[in-house]
Structure 1
Amino acid sequence: MNRWKRLAPSHADPWRPWLTSRGSLTWRIVERSRGFRVEKIAQRFRIPNEDEYFALGRPTHKRALVREVILHADGQPVVLAHSIAARRDLSGVWRALRGLGNRPLAEMLFTDPLVKRSPIEFSRVDSRHPLWRRARQVFGRTFPALWVRRSLFRKRGRPLMVTEVFLPAMLELRPWT
C-alpha cells in the first residue's frame, strides 16, 4: 500500500503547484481553462479504502457516503475526486453533500467560515492502490503512477475527507503565472 506524506514533490516537479495549492482546486482549474464542468459518477454508501478508514479516525460505523466526480477542463478529464463523509453527518453538518449533484464541492468547503482544512497529504499511487484501479475502471485505460492529494475538512469537529487523483491532462492546462 502506498504511503501518504506531508512532503510535497520537489520544486522542479511540474505537479507541485497543483498539489500544494491550499485553496480550491476547482477554482484553480476554472482560472486555467476555457471550459469547466463537474460530472458526478457515483454516490453510494460503502466501506472506505483501508488507508482512508484509518485517516478518518477509525469510525465505529464503517460504511460511509463516498461521492466521486470527474473534474473536466477544456473537454478533458483532469481530476478524479473522491469524497467521504460518515453516514451520521449527512443529517448534520455535511447534509448539503447529499444534494450537490454536478455542482462542485468547493462551493460548500471554501465559502463556509466554519470549515477548517487539515494539512494536505500526498502520495503517488500505482496499480497496487484502489484509487489508481478506480481511475483505470472509470476511464477504461491504464495510467502511469498518479499523484494524489487528500485532506480532512472539519466542520464542528466532524470530518469530510477529500481526495483528488490528478490525471495526466491536468498538465496541459494554461501554465501558472
Structure 2
Amino acid sequence: MPSKSFLFNREPLWLENRSGTRHTLPENVQSWVYEPGSLTQRLRDYYGDAIGVKILLQQWNTPFLTERRLLKLHDSKYSLIREVLLHADDKPLILARTIIPAKTIKVAKNNLAHLGSRPLGEVIFSYPKLERIEMDVALINPSTWTPPALAEGYIDQPIWGRRTVYAISHRQMLVSEFFLSGVLEIF
C-alpha cells in the first residue's frame, strides 16, 4: 500500500484551538493561522502570479486516525489525500495536506478531484456556501517530517500549522497548512 503521507513519517500532534491559544503563538504566525480568507489569495496579493503549486502526493488512501475521527469517516473509507508545496519563484512558503472524502468531491461536482496545479484555495473559496467548522493548531518538530519534506520546505526548526474543517453544502473536508519560514517574513 502506498504511504499515507509524503510529508509526515507519523501523524502530527494537534491542539484544539481554544480561547487564548492565539496569544501563545508568535505574532507573525498568528497572522497566518488566523487568516479568515484564502491563504492563496493573500499570497497572490503579495507575490502576484509568481505563486506556484508543486504536487507532492495525490492519491486515494485512508487518512490518519485523528483525520478520520474529525471527519467522522469509517476506518476503511478511502479519501483523496493531496499534499502540496505552495511557493513563489521557487521559495517554499506553505506545505499543505488536504483530505477530501468522496461525498465532498461529488457535491463539489468533481472540481476538487481535478485540481492539477491549481491551489485548492482558489477553488473552495469560490463556493458561496463554504463553511469553516473548526480549527486546530500544531507546532511540528522536524522529527515528525519525512526527509523529502524537510528538503522541500527547507525545514530545520519547528513549524506552526493549522488544520481546518471546511464544509461545502454540508459535506466536510480537512485542510492542514504549515507555515514555512519564507511565508512568515510576510506580515
The TM tier, using the shorter chain, reads 0.7 to 0.9
Determine whether 1:75 maps to 2:86: no
Instruction: Give the 3-state SS of the residue equivalent to 1:28 in structure 2.
Output: helix
* TM-score relative to the length of structure 1: 0.83
Structure 1 residue 80, shift from structure 2 partner: 0.8
Distance 1:69 1:142 in 2: 15
Q: Aligned partner of 2:62: which letter?
A: I
For residues 27-82 of structure 1, the C-alpha deviation after alignment (integer angstroms, 9 at most, x for no partner) is 11112225211222221011212221221123354321101111112430111111
Distance 2:105 2:168 in 1: 12
Instruction: Give the 3-state SS of the residue equivalent to 2:47 in structure 1.
Output: coil
**Structure 1 unaligned regions, length at least 5:** none
Determine whether 1:2 maps to 2:13: yes
Q: 1:117 to 1:134 in 2, by over 3 A?
A: farther
Distance 2:109 2:147 in 1: 24
The correspondence of residues 112-151 of structure 1 with structure 2, limited to 5 A, is 112-127=127-142, 129=144, 132-133=145-146, 136=149, 139=152, 142-151=155-164
Q: 1:138 to 1:95 in 2, by over 3 A?
A: farther
Instruction: Give the 3-state SS of the residue equivalent to 1:66 in structure 2.
Output: strand
Q: 1:92 to 1:119 in 2, by over 3 A?
A: closer
* TM-score relative to the length of structure 2: 0.79
Q: 1:107 to 1:8 in 2, by over 3 A?
A: same
Q: Aligned partner of 2:37: which letter?
A: G
Distance 1:56 1:68 in 2: 18
What does residue 110 of structure 1 align with?
125
Q: Aligned partner of 1:31: which letter?
A: D
Q: In the alignment, is the contact (CA less than 8 A) between 1:67 and 1:82 conserved in 2?
A: yes
Identity %: 27
**Structure 2 unaligned regions, length at least 5:** 1-11
Structure 1 residue 20, shift from structure 2 partner: 0.8
Q: Aligned partner of 2:94: which letter?
A: V
Q: 1:20 to 1:135 in 2, by over 3 A?
A: farther
Q: In the alignment, is the contact (CA less than 8 A) between 2:81 and 2:97 conserved in 1?
A: yes
Structure 1 residue 9, shift from structure 2 partner: 4.5
Give the paired residue count: 172
